[in-house]
Amino acid sequence: MTNILRVESSIKGDAAVSRLLTDRIVARLVAANPDAVTVTRDLAAGIRPVDGQWLGAVYTPTEARTESQQATAAYADALLDEVKAADVLVIALPVYNFGLPAQLKAWIDQLARKGQTFRYTEAGPEGLLPGKRAIVAYASDGTKLGSEIDFASGYLRHILGFFGIADVEFVAADAIAFGAEEAIGRGEAQVDALAA
């Protein structure tokens, strides 16, 4: 059985081009793996940012946590458990102001936990989530994927790799402002060419 975690991050909801692509990606994966289970996390519906309370909660031993820390840690653990259970992550990456949406960055911050998603060794950092596949649905009005003004895709690829997720593929409907139909068509064709 394949476990798919679908992470939506666009503030445009169903009108988002990134969601159009994630719909298509998930449909392709499920068609090839009919027993697949899909969990959706819509970050635009709200995600708590990390703060001092979070730091104290997740790094305090379970038995020593206050009631408030227990609630904070339970929320963070639920997000982390979704990722740990996933075989495939399908991540919507709409580009806002040349970078990631704040809610997607907040999700990443929730996941970045020493001893859970990475650790430091004498040989350098080691990701603790190997063997997973990530497919990123990149959508932008004016920024081309991989261009010198694209600060989103490189960061997301890097942080996923830092967590041990090395199999990262991008499909892109980019520079939509210069031809929406063509850009969306390119993105859909890239989805259709993915190995399912």
Binding site residue list: 10
d(CA 59, CA 108): 17
Q: Which of 28, 32, 8 is nearest to 18 (CA)?
A: 8
Could you list the residues known to form a binding site for FMN, using ranges.
10
- State the first-to-last Cα distance of the chain, in angstroms, to the nearest integer: 14
d(CA 70, CA 60): 9
Instruction: Specify the pairing of strand 124-127 against strand 118-121.
Output: antiparallel
Helix (H, G, I), strand (E, B) or coil at 97: coil
Contact by Cβ (8 Å): 144, 176: no
d(CA 150, CA 176): 14
